[in-house]
Amino acid sequence: MKNLIYVLIAMLMVACGSNSSSNYEKTISESLLKGGSASDVNLKIIELKEQGTVTVADSITFLTDEFRKDKQLIIDRIELAKKMSEDLQAKTKLKSEFDKYNADIAVMNNRIDSLKNLTPDNLQGYDSRNANDVLSVIIRCKYSVTLGGKTVEETFDFYLSPDGNKYYGKKRAE
């Protein structure tokens, strides 16, 4: 009796695991065949392996880092323009030009200050979310594609919804 329970539990686990794996395989195949059909391309999934997840906290960290990088790039450009204006101001002999450069420098200083105090505004969708909520699973997929008699084998990390039904994107595996 005890052995029968273990067998039933093992079968349930295999059934549940293969279901999500088949969802992953179906979604990945559909994304790879988008724009073509199975008759045009011979696609064979060789290996699927879950690599990890992307959580709300991961997403917030990524968006915040990207925001900071973009903001710093703009600040650097404004500081370069400010430096050029200061150099031109030092070389000018006309009071009207000196005053114009001075006004431009003041505007650039204000912009730099406001940018330095700017916070990310693209995080509104995460306000009520738990930081540990899973947004996506990362599935490493090794597959072969035969097209026109030539076979190519590739490995990509696919970003899918937690249930495996939606495709978000892919990145070549490192």
What pLDDT, on a 0 to 100 scale, did the predictor assign at position 149?
Answer: 81
Question: In this model, does residue 68 exceed pLDDT 80?
Answer: yes
pLDDT band at 158 (very low <50, low <70, confident <90, very high): very high
102-111: list long-range contacts, CB under 8 Å, 24+ apart.
Answer: 108/78, 108/79, 108/81, 108/82, 109/82, 111/78
* Tens digits of residue pLDDT in 28-46: 988 888 855 555 678 889 9
Buried b / exposed e over 47-69, threshold 16 CB at 10 Å, is: ebeeeeebbbeebbeeeeeebee
* Tens digits of residue pLDDT in 89-118: 999 989 999 999 999 999 999 999 999 999
What percent of the chain has a predicted confidence (pLDDT) above 70?
Answer: 85
Are residues 81 and 108 in contact, defined by beta-carbon separation less than 8 angstroms? yes
The pair of three-digit structure tokens given for residue 73, joined into one six-digit string: 């790039």
Q: Indicate the average pLDDT of the chain.
A: 84
Alpha helices in the chain (DSSP H): 2-32, 56-91, 95-116
